[in-house]
């Protein structure tokens, strides 16, 4: 079972997207920072300091559309950094605000240049098509709680949909093409390297983290030569480790069809110019959300499938935390017909692994099967490969479902559920009985960001994945490590990989 490109955008909307904070309770003057581009005037929020809407690259508009990100603008005087920049997410009518390449910095109060505080760079999810740097899918990701624990958080936006993942022969003749979103992420990391010391951060202690499309991005950045040396640790949440990029041939063919919708034909410079003048809304998507945007095999930013690259030892040799949730299949809503369509021997093996007590809960079984195929088994594969490369790997499994979510999450913790626990900010609402786990998850994440070892959080011991293939489960009993976790189910899913079975999200429906 190879995870096809259709899965690269598999972060569907589960709930209403959170709206970034529009106003701040700030001091009379607010905190200041001086970066290479100029001075910034920020705000105090919940006792920490925030600087929002900082351009890390030039606006990718006009002739800069579908070009690698250009140098960020500079300014005179103090720039107002108390409001979020524009989102890269298109409206429901497909209208894009393309001037959207912004970074947001949240730091401990009173942080000063030279303190060398640990840094988290957050890459949001949303299927490479939607999402927000500072909060989406029921979670706020500005990093207020991390700041209270001595960590600086940088959340970044990047080009999405047609703006960020688009290849066309006329554009590719100009130079690097296709993965403009990844080009943006690398540019953002270079901006962090060059400027984070001005906020009190340590450019040599940077952790990249992301969920779903952001988690895929983390693994791709670990493989990308252009990102090498720009981070020292990585966290991949629900990161679809067997993701397969679209071939450049297929991507350009899709780009030609999209261009035709906008009335643009040809493959020369005139066609490139016409494309840059056309509104992106003139090239609407069709088909499932999960096939709209994502990594393209360009030979530079994306050189192979993720698991293939890790198996070959091509990834950055840095500590890695990786994991997923107990019902990632909430993305796909698989139906019992999945079982009926299986060959008899595979169905027998599936029932032995997923229903050993013959309880007959078919919907639970197919949800568990899909979750293992797309997330948990790939997490094991990536963990195995990275441990074999001699690197520390800490693997988790988030299964906690709060009492208030059980009606919606009867098959386990849904896709994106862990984000709010990892950030655990004061804007989040937790029932009293959920607070202990939220504090634990946040503490383990913060410890890893600081040191590369979550076990320094002070809770139950979190062993490395190797040698006993240990997963730390965050569930109803709190943090509990399990050796050879869910082995029968993961071995079954691995057999699908070897058999070449389809892992398209559509096959899970």
pLDDT digits (tens, 9 = 90+) for 479-498: 999 999 999 999 999 998 88
E strands present in 109-161: 117-123, 135-136, 139-140, 152-156
367 contacts 509 by C-beta, under 8 angstroms: no
Going from the C-alpha of 143 to that of each of 150, 210, 227, 237, the distances in angstroms are 11, 13, 23, 16
Dihedral pair phi/psi, residue 173, rounded to 5°: -70, -20
Q: What pLDDT is stored for residue 294 in this prediction?
A: 94
425 contacts 496 by C-beta, under 8 angstroms: no
Q: What pLDDT is stored for residue 332 in this prediction?
A: 85
Average pLDDT for the chain: 91
Neighbours of 348 (CB within 10 A): 11
Helix (H, G, I), strand (E, B) or coil at 171: helix
Terminal Cα distance for the chain, rounded: 16
Going from the C-alpha of 505 to that of each of 11, 13, 19, 283, 384, the distances in angstroms are 11, 15, 28, 24, 25
Helix (H, G, I), strand (E, B) or coil at 62: helix
Q: Which residues, given as ranges, of the chain have pLDDT below 70? A: 1-28, 501-509
CA distance 344 to 362: 16
Pairing of strands 320-325, 478-482: unpaired
* In the chain, % of residues over pLDDT 90: 81
Q: What pLDDT is stored for residue 20 in this prediction?
A: 35
Helix (H, G, I), strand (E, B) or coil at 440: helix
pLDDT in tens, 86-138: 999 998 888 999 999 999 999 999 999 989 999 999 999 999 999 999 887 77
| Residue 295: partners with Cβ closer than 8 Å, 6 or more residues away | 5, 8, 165, 179, 182, 216, 220, 243, 245, 246, 302
CA distance 484 to 262: 53
Q: What pLDDT is stored for residue 501 in this prediction?
A: 58
Host H or E run for residue 52: strand 48-55
Q: What pLDDT is stored for residue 312 in this prediction?
A: 97
Helix axes of 344-354 and 487-499: crossing angle, nearest 10 degrees: 160
73 contacts 58 by C-beta, under 8 angstroms: yes
Q: What pLDDT is stored for residue 468 in this prediction?
A: 97
| Residue 228: partners with Cβ closer than 8 Å, 6 or more residues away | 316
pTM for the full predicted model? 0.92
CA distance 50 to 31: 8
Cα-trace Rg, the chain: 22
Going from the C-alpha of 370 to that of each of 210, 255, 347, 476, 508, the distances in angstroms are 21, 31, 14, 22, 7
Burial of residue 110, with CB atoms counted within 10 A of its CB: 0-12 exposed, 13-18 middle, 19 or more buried: exposed
Q: What pLDDT is stored for residue 138 in this prediction?
A: 72
Residue 83's region, left for phi above 0, alpha for psi from -120 to 50, else beta, is beta
């Amino acid at each position: 079972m190879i995870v096809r490109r259709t899965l690269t955008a598999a972060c569907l909307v589960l709930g209403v997207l959170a709206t970034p904070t529009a106003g701040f309770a700030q001091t009379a003057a607010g905190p200041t920072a001086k970066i290479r581009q100029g001075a910034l005037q920020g705000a105090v929020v919940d006792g920490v300091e925030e600087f929002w809407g900082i351009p890390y690259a030039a606006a990718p508009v006009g002739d800069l559309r579908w070009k690698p990100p250009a140098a960020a603008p500079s300014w005179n005087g103090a720039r107002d950094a108390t409001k979020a920049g524009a989102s890269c997410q298109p409206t429901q009518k497909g209208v894009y605000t393309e001037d959207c390449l912004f970074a947001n910095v949240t730091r401990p109060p009173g942080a000063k240049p030279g303190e060398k505080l640990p840094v988290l760079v957050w890459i949001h999810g949303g299927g490479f098509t939607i999402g927000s740097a500072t909060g989406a899918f029921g979670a706020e990701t500005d990093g207020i709680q991390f700041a209270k624990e001595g960590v600086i958080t940088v959340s970044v936006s990047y080009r999405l949909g047609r703006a960020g993942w688009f290849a066309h022969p006329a554009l590719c003749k100009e130079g690097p093409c296709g993965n403009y979103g990844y080009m943006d992420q690398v540019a953002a990391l270079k901006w962090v390297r060059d400027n984070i010391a001005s906020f009190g951060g340590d450019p040599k202690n940077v952790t990249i983290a992301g969920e779903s499309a952001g988690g895929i991005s983390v693994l791709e950045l670990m493989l990308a030569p252009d990102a090498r040396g720009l981070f020292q640790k990585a966290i991949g949440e629900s990161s679809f480790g067997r993701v397969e990029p679209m071939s450049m041939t297929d991507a350009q063919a899709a780009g030609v069809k999209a261009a035709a919708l906008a009335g643009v034909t040809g493959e020369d410079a005139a066609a490139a110019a016409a494309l840059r003048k056309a509104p992106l809304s003139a090239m609407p998507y069709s088909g499932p959300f999960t096939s709209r945007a994502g990594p393209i095999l360009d030979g530079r930013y994306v050189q192979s499938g993720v698991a293939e690259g890790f198996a070959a030892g091509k990834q950055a040799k840095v500590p890695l935390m990786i994991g997923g949730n107990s019902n990632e299949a909430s993305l796909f809503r698989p139906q019992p017909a999945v079982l009926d369509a299986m060959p008899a021997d595979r169905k027998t093996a599936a029932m032995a692994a997923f229903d050993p007590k013959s309880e007959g809960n078919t919907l639970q079984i197919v949800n568990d099967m899909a979750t293992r195929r797309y997330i948990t088994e790939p997490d094991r594969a990536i963990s195995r490969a990275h441990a074999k490369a001699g690197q520390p790997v800490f693997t988790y499994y988030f299964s906690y479902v709060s009492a208030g979510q059980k009606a919606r999450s009867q098959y386990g913790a849904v896709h994106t559920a862990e984000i709010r626990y990892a950030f655990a900010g004061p804007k989040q609402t937790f029932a009293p009985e959920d607070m202990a786990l939220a504090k634990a998850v946040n503490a383990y994440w913060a410890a890893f960001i600081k040191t590369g070892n979550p076990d320094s959080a002070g809770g139950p011991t979190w062993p490395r994945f190797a040698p006993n293939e240990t997963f730390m489960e965050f569930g109803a009993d709190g943090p509990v490590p399990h050796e050879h976790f869910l082995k029968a189910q993961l071995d079954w899913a691995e057999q699908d990989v070897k058999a070449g079975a389809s892992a398209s999200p559509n096959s899970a429906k």
